[in-house]
Structure 1
Amino acid sequence: MTEALSLRERKKQQTRQQIITAALRLFERYGFERVSLHDVAASANVSKMTVFNYFATKEDIVFDEWRDQFVNGPARAVRERRRGESAIAALERNYLERLAQRDPLTGLNRMAVPFFRIVMASPTLMRRQNELFALAEQVLAQALAEIAGTHDRDVTAIATAGCVLAIERALISENCHRLMGGDDPDDIYPEAVRMAKENFRILYAGVPTVFTTPSSVR
């Protein structure tokens, strides 16, 4: 029974990936707005209903693979921070580790080039990306408010979350533009690390001490 379930789950995952691969290929070639779900289904050799079974909207096909890290990653880094580590230190370490691992969402992995090209060329996808950043900001603000012992609408937590994600977004954008310009990820990496450390120093200097004080001290 377990083996059959595992086989069924693998089949579902294969179908999902088949749809994503076909869709991204079409979106990159023709542009997101010019491709219909019918086109995606035909290219993936599945029915349109099958596409809807996996993705509620066309935009979801593009962002599905990255959505959890995109929205929940920063807050998760804060909540799972090491003993004696401040929230900002945890966020910096998380970002630097992802750079070292060539996480596609840092803009330092060639695998993500088609994704970034598709998004940047589409007003619809740029709006969705902005919505996801706004959601990530809300989720991170909640995690920071937990540290401060305040409520979800704590303005200081919201402002700090906004600063963190604005810096990460600027860093990722710079990495991405260099990558799409033809630079090698390994050549970009040292400068990406330097810029990250430099900009996180701004956070240490500017955000409330409750978010920069090691957890064992509080």
Structure 2
Amino acid sequence: MKKHEKIALDSLLSRSSTDDLTSPAPKGDELETILSAVMRAPDHGKLRPWRLVLVHGEARVTLAERVVASMKRIDPDVPEKKIEKRYNRFSTMPLIIVLGMHLKPEDKIPLIEQELAVGAAGMNLLNALHAAGYGAVWVSGEITYDPVFAAELGFPAPHGLAGFFFVGTPKDEDHHSKRRPVAPYVTEWTGEPVSFGADKD
């Protein structure tokens, strides 16, 4: 294995999510380079169904207010503590990247494959942020599937949201979680239905 290949693999193997973030977040040319990794996601039909919306500065407060409104619309009895936590997270993260889905249900490419391409784009984004030295976490929750909220952000049906990325600099440089062994999640097919160690109680 060549040195640059080992560096790339080590980066993939050391990535983990964190929302314990502070400034700075990437910006300018560095951010553009990171976002360019999204364009390398596998994409059957070359539809490029992903869309990225950057939210920073005062816009974070406005987004947090829309998040709270969505929470109350979904559940009028949502606990105040949950509202406060969600508002604080969305209004204070150094950078929020909204991952949207620009879907074409009428296209010959199945809708699920379009959605999977968006998911692959999101993973590329997480890996690129990590490789550049930043921390991030991909969050979703019930608000992600609120069509009213999605439309407010520019994704009216049949389009939608795939989640939100909180981005910044990790407060703890050693935030990486322990890597699970791969063996329970891998098996060899020999002609009969497979089973996995990870699925056994």
- TM-score band, normalised by shorter chain: under 0.3
Whichever structure has more helix as a proportion of its residues is 1
* TM-score of the aligned structures, taking structure 2 as reference length: 0.26
- Greater relative CO, 1 or 2 (CA 8 Å, sep 6+): 2
Whichever structure has more strand as a proportion of its residues is 2
